[in-house]
Structure 1
Amino acid sequence: MSINEAADLQPVAIEPIDLEQADLEQAAFEPVPIESSGTESSDAESIDTEPIIRAALTINHLNVDPLNAAPVAAQRHVSRRTAERFIAVHVGRSGEVAGGMSQVVNGYLAHSFVDFDLRMVPSRDGSGGLRAAGVAASAFLKLLRLANPKRTVVVAHLSQGGSFAREGALLALAHVRGFATVAQLHGSSFADFARTRPRLVGSVLRCADVVLTLSAQSHTAASEFVPGERVVLVPNAVADGIVRQIENVVVFGGAVSKRKGVDILVAAWKRLAPQHPLWKLVIAGPIADQPTEPLAGAQFVGPLSHAALMEMLERSAIAVMPSRDEAMPMFILEAMARTNCVVATSVGGVPAVLAGGVGVLVEPGDVDALEAALHRAMTDAPWRAKKADLARSAFETTYSAAAVFPRIERSWTTALDRRSNRVAKKYRPGSRTRTQQP
């Protein structure tokens, strides 16, 4: 069944929800005032989520028209389980937007999954104020109109701050409506955010049948709120690159910010540039809190399209990411897929990605260590080539779509199974919430 056909199904009547048993705490969902840096990597735009959350918490019985949005992808495989296709509805942000979360979603939408068709419900577009509230409200209405909970899983892409409140509210709505739900965590500072906002985080994660995390740290933090078997550590996946002529280029890709360590990179390059006049540093990304400055042998190119950045990585020899804080940066995985020697800092999930000599790790904020690592990569060609080959091999075995996407799809199937168990338990004989047969 195609997505268009699925969208034309008659809506199913959702069983009444006992909100006390739904395990939602309204007080935990107050809006989170966050200052936006203007880049997706911060995921910090503020939005008034109270109307959305209030509606999510008061829905008790719905029988509404199905979602009639156009499908994002219409793969027509035959499901391994039944002849009828499943649907994964992704809630968040996609498109040509800087930031790892959008690229993860874009990768899903471009892939042909075996058992699932995909839809996208945008809940934000980078705007603020009334426009942002309108986008979120539109997502809320689309989830209200969503039908067929037995075959549909809702995947909310969450970061810390305002994103967690907004997309978390939409996840709660899907849960209350009886859909299978997956919370996919992207934020680089999720563990810290969970410590400061435990009620909010706990209320959202308890609405998820499966929680996907990118790092061991996030996995541990999420497991404090829900049973450990519901939390799954799955890496991001990236598309393959193509072979181009390699040049003496070092590439940084990301927000030009202190969090990404651009100040440390600039300090190190000022020392390196006079020694390596045949090498060039390219800093690509939107300007955040680090001003650009004239830099010998270097160029600030501003934000690039994703395709342009990938083409640059296909030509570069070295990729550098001296961040002070990360979860699992897509830029590093994309550089590995394009056979770069990767130099990065020991933060978040990066050490696990670059373990076993796959890349070069330095401590965050250490100019001397970053300078030494880049110097060796630029001067020792056999060593650099070995690192690049190891990175490419690690990509193929662990971070390619072929390696990761079957695991992602299994998590969606698991969510559907747990939703079925949840409904069966709720309506078995003797249950105090049993009001009608499902």
Structure 2
Amino acid sequence: MTTRGGVASFVREMRETPLWTEWDVRHVTTHRDGTALTKIAIAARALVVYLYQVLAHRPAVVHLHMSSYGSFVRKYVFELIARGLRIPVVLHLHGSDFRLFHDRGPRLLRAAIRDALRGAAVVVALGEPWAQALRGITAEARIIVVCNAVRLAEPVDQRTEQPVRVLFLGEIGERKGAFTLLDAWQRMVRAAGDPAAARLLVAGDGAVEAARKRIADLGVESTVEIRGWVAAQQVPEVMRRAHVLVLPSHREGQPMAILEAMARGLCVVTCPVGGIPDLVGEDCGVLVPPGEIEPLATALEQVVLDGALRARLGAAAWQRVRDEFDIDVVWRRFDRIYREVIDEHR
């Protein structure tokens, strides 16, 4: 699976757990990055494969990963089919703008969203703020919180002279705060007084050329590298070379990039939006207000210049993943959910 995004990352991780084999999971891909024609073809093929699977194999439970817009339409159709066949549905919500998607939608769409939430045996939210937002759509849905999961890795070595390597990993644009980051980076470099102290790698797709122009305008070309999208298999190597992950998102779900960074002991600088506060507390990361340049510049200066602080936050982040977000903990949670849902529908 080479599709980008949190859902694809979650599925890749779950493939490697006993959940996949013990439940004989049959994954149906409904989306793939590419042209509009490619996406339509994949969606059409997925519907055929899904119909065959539910009719021929009659699964005990259907687990749907749903987000906004096209994802909602595809998965709502799948949910209706499962409900028509009396197969219980676990509806796993992703996408940071789902409540906004509902509130701004026409009346018929809002009714469909409410029906999707009410009709599922269980709705899985990635964090308590998401759960509250979904309860605001309908109080009749059974909503539980299960955070994303990641596999623990060998912690990075935070002992370094210079440069400290800072990583931004995600779509380059306003939602992820990429341009706020570039402005803050310029101020941090000036405040630190040593252009050799740190290097920033911006890895992702989106507004790549606009980011390159902003870097040139800010005069920080010598300290910033722009790279295109990093494939999933390359992420571990990119993170092994980093000391800090910065993701100053304005709106967010529960980014796998943060979990993957924490699982490697990186120091995380981010914003308390969406499901991020469920992952990062003040004891294992640095939280700054979204969209504000000065607090972000100050936070970057602190973690770049203070190696002891960087190491302490990175170690606490690694410990928190081990205790709460390790894949071996989360797959067992889904195993219990499946069993409970099946028992309730007998």
Q: TM-score, normalised by structure 1?
A: 0.70
**Partner Cα distance (2:166, 2:36) in 1:** 38
Aligned match of 2:171: 255
Task: Give the C-alpha shift of residue 136 in structure 1.
Answer: 1.8
**Partner Cα distance (2:89, 2:292) in 1:** 41
Aligned match of 1:358: 284
Query: More helix per residue: 1 or 2?
Result: 2
Letter aligned with residue 64 of structure 2: A
What are the Cα deviations for residues 256-302 of structure 1, in whole angstroms up to 9, with x where unaligned? 11110000000011122343413110011112477122433010111
How does 1:372-387 map onto structure 2 within 5 Å?
A: 372-387=298-313
- Whether 1:389 aligns to 2:315 is yes
Change in CA separation of 1:128 and 1:415 when aligned onto 2, cut-off 3 Å: farther
Task: Give the C-alpha shift of residue 128 in structure 1.
Answer: 4.5
**Partner Cα distance (1:217, 1:243) in 2:** 29
**Partner Cα distance (1:194, 1:289) in 2:** 30
Name which of 112, 119, 124 aligns with 2:26.
119
Aligned match of 1:225: 138
Task: Give the C-alpha shift of residue 347 in structure 1.
Answer: 0.6
Change in CA separation of 1:121 and 1:150 when aligned onto 2, cut-off 3 Å: closer
Question: Which has the higher Rg, Structure 1 or Structure 2?
Answer: 1
Letter aligned with residue 282 of structure 1: L
- Whether 1:141 aligns to 2:54 is no
- Whether 1:155 aligns to 2:63 is yes
Aligned match of 1:188: 96
**The residue matched to 2:27 in structure 1 has which SS?**
strand
Change in CA separation of 1:216 and 1:243 when aligned onto 2, cut-off 3 Å: closer
Name which of 261, 266, 275 aligns with 1:340.
266
Cα pair 2:187 2:297 within 8 Å, conserved: yes
Question: Over aligned residues, Cα RMSD in angstroms?
Answer: 2.0
Change in CA separation of 1:201 and 1:410 when aligned onto 2, cut-off 3 Å: same
**The residue matched to 1:258 in structure 2 has which SS?**
coil
**The residue matched to 1:292 in structure 2 has which SS?**
helix
When structure 1 is superposed on structure 2, of 404-413 and 182-191 the one drifting more is 404-413
What are the Cα deviations for residues 114-144 of structure 1, in whole angstroms up to 9, with x where unaligned? 7422111111212444443332222222232
Letter aligned with residue 99 of structure 1: G
Task: Give the C-alpha shift of residue 254 in structure 1.
Answer: 0.2
When structure 1 is superposed on structure 2, of 314-323 and 411-420 the one drifting more is 411-420
**The residue matched to 2:86 in structure 1 has which SS?**
coil
- Whether 1:284 aligns to 2:203 is yes
Task: Give the C-alpha shift of residue 324 in structure 1.
Answer: 0.3
Stretches of structure 1 lacking an aligned partner (at least 5 in a row):
1-94, 421-438
Task: Give the C-alpha shift of residue 153 in structure 1.
Answer: 1.3
**The residue matched to 1:267 in structure 2 has which SS?**
helix
Cα pair 1:181 1:208 within 8 Å, conserved: yes
Aligned match of 1:100: 6
**Partner Cα distance (2:10, 2:177) in 1:** 23
**Partner Cα distance (1:296, 1:111) in 2:** 43
**The residue matched to 1:120 in structure 2 has which SS?**
coil
When structure 1 is superposed on structure 2, of 202-211 and 267-276 the one drifting more is 267-276
**Partner Cα distance (1:244, 1:378) in 2:** 15
Stretches of structure 2 lacking an aligned partner (at least 5 in a row):
none
**The residue matched to 1:320 in structure 2 has which SS?**
strand
**Partner Cα distance (2:77, 2:134) in 1:** 17
**Partner Cα distance (2:99, 2:84) in 1:** 26
**Partner Cα distance (1:134, 1:221) in 2:** 33
**The residue matched to 1:414 in structure 2 has which SS?**
helix
Task: Give the C-alpha shift of residue 307 in structure 1.
Answer: 2.5
**The residue matched to 1:376 in structure 2 has which SS?**
helix
- Whether 1:403 aligns to 2:329 is yes
Cα pair 2:253 2:274 within 8 Å, conserved: yes
Change in CA separation of 1:162 and 1:369 when aligned onto 2, cut-off 3 Å: same
Letter aligned with residue 414 of structure 1: E
Cα pair 2:179 2:211 within 8 Å, conserved: no
Aligned match of 1:174: 82
Q: Compare relative contact order (CA 8 Å, sep 6+) and give the higher one, 1 or 2.
A: 2
Letter aligned with residue 43 of structure 2: A
**The residue matched to 2:345 in structure 1 has which SS?**
helix
Aligned match of 1:302: 228
**Partner Cα distance (1:273, 1:133) in 2:** 46
What are the Cα deviations for residues 390-417 of structure 1, in whole angstroms up to 9, with x where unaligned? 1011110011112211112222222222
Letter aligned with residue 202 of structure 1: R
Cα pair 1:263 1:290 within 8 Å, conserved: no
Aligned match of 1:320: 246
Task: Give the C-alpha shift of residue 150 in structure 1.
Answer: 6.6
Between Structure 1 and Structure 2, how many residues are aligned?
325
Cα pair 1:238 1:337 within 8 Å, conserved: yes
What are the Cα deviations for residues 24-63 of structure 1, in whole angstroms up to 9, with x where unaligned? xxxxxxxxxxxxxxxxxxxxxxxxxxxxxxxxxxxxxxxx
Change in CA separation of 1:366 and 1:290 when aligned onto 2, cut-off 3 Å: farther
Change in CA separation of 1:141 and 1:97 when aligned onto 2, cut-off 3 Å: closer
Letter aligned with residue 201 of structure 1: I
Cα pair 2:118 2:140 within 8 Å, conserved: no
Cα pair 1:321 1:345 within 8 Å, conserved: yes
**Partner Cα distance (2:180, 2:317) in 1:** 24
% identical aligned pairs: 29
